[in-house]
Copies of this chain bind each other. A is one copy, B any other.
Amino acid sequence: MVNKEHLQVQDQEVNETLYGVSQDTIRALEEALEEENKKQVKKLIKPLHAADVAVVIEYLSPHLRQRLIEILLPHFDPDILTHLNETVREEVVEQLGTREIAEAITGLESDDAVLLIEDLGKDQQKEILESIPMGERVILEEVLTYPEYSAARLMQREIVCVPSFWTVAETMHYMTKEKNLPDKFYDIFVVDPKHSPIGGIPLSLLLRQPAATKVADIMMVDIKRIPALMDQEEVALLFRKYGLVSAPVIDEGGRIVGMITVDDVVDVIEEEAEEDIMLLSRVTESDFFEPLLSTSYSRIRWLLISLISTLLAATVISQFQHTIEKLVALAVLMPINAAMSGNAGMQVVTVTVRALATRELGGANMSRAIWKEILVGLINGIVFGAIVGSIAAFWFADPALGIVLGGALIFNMIWAAAWGVALPILIDKMGMDPALSAGPFLTTTTDLLGFAIFLGLARFFLV
């Protein structure tokens, strides 16, 4: 939040103990690594949670990172890999090599195992899959046939399913005896003879039932069955909307094939919001840990779009060189319109993109939303048209110049509003990510029109 000084102090005190890794730990580790003091390194790493070791690995410079992994290698905890940022994980996976990764995968649940190998090259994937036990291999190969970003890629195959005729006591007994259960689970699923999920029972409910109760009598029937092909963004929306903690995933025949738990969804929520943030600012996602040159390259790709946009604007201006020569005040004032309508347009694009992402904007309220934005554009256009026009009129002692500037701004702000709300909706309907609209399309038009309308009106009325 904007105003959080109050809580900040408290935070700093507890951070050290709660987060597991303090600045001092990292500094001590850096020192030990520089000195190649393996014993000290191991001593510092040993008490840390896998998530904290991941943080340490991320914080280290690439050079020390490599050295740390070499030291950890003989007994590398596979859980560390699941906590790493994607860019860093790929780097570490590469360093670990095929045999080590195959071993790590065997120790993980299927969703985490998929996470590790899905980004690898086909060849390396095949090599790794060939060196893990048959049972797990079949499961992983099946999950990998589902498209990236689908629900199936998020799910774990390990689930607790019971038939509807079982009692609470039978279910409890099964859970104490069966060894092949997930590490952690929050609901058990009741399935019919075809293995379709017909209900779910939260553990906290199951625990409080008399032993003789039939599971069919206490199960919740309004569970959300997630199709294996559903986009992960949809999965996240469902979990958030209905406050789910776990949900069964079904194949096209309606059979249960796995479950998704909320901890995987939490990452998706963050990822999807992150993607919008990055696209809206024209950056490639997951940029922070990328090495220098690929960061530079991915930024250049987006800046090229800005360059084309601004060169087009320059071309527009060049059509009015004679007008500007005659009235140089135009050169002074012309950036105002482009900047103001560009900013107003970005506001509208951002609100629209997020409203689409969170489903606050849908078919039912679309035309209302478009009209509202156009009206806001009109009101704000008039407000800023009046302000900017008056300033220009007084500044250059030229009322006509003020009227032209103000009038152009009103038009530009209405355009920015209309295009700012319509563009993301159109891009969404075309099946692409609406956040892309902030890139090439919006600012190019606000720039071009910003200069063209002001300078055009000026040529017509003033010079």
Contacts and interface: CB of A to CB of B under 8 A. Distances in A.
B4 A231 contact: yes
A282 B229 contact: no
A397 interface: no
Interface in A428-444: 431-433, 436
Given A4-B433, A306-B340, 17 more contacts: A4-B431, A6-B147, A7-B229, A7-B230, A11-B234, A14-B227, A18-B226, A58-B360, A175-B208, A186-B186, A243-B266, A245-B245, A278-B351, A282-B347, A310-B336, A311-B391, A317-B331
Interface string A324-343: 11001111111110111001
Given A208-B176, A281-B346, A433-B4, A314 B299 contact: no
Contacts of A148: 1
Contact of A318 (B241, B310, B332, B354): B332
Interface string A257-299: 0000011011101100111111111110001110011011001
Q: How large is the interface on A (under 10, 10 to 19, 20 to 34, 35 or more residues)?
A: 35 or more
A235 to B, nearest CB: 10
Interface stretch (A131-139, A190-198, A378-386): A378-386
A8 B431 contact: yes
Ranked 5 nearest A-B pairs via Cβ: A273-B273, A281-B350, A331-B331, A5-B431, A203-B203
| Total copies of the chain | 2
A167 interface: no
A61 interface: yes
Contacts of A333: 314
Interface in A194-246: 202-205, 207-210, 222, 224-227, 229-231, 233-234, 238-243, 245
Given A207-B176, A280-B281, A368-B61, A231 B8 contact: yes
B351 A335 contact: no
A184 interface: yes
A339 B309 contact: yes
Interface in A2-37: 2-8, 10-11, 14-15, 18-19, 23, 26-27, 30
B207 A207 contact: yes
Nearest to A17: B225
A73 interface: no
Contacts of A384: 300, 303, 307
Interface string A425-463: 000000111001000000000010001000000000000
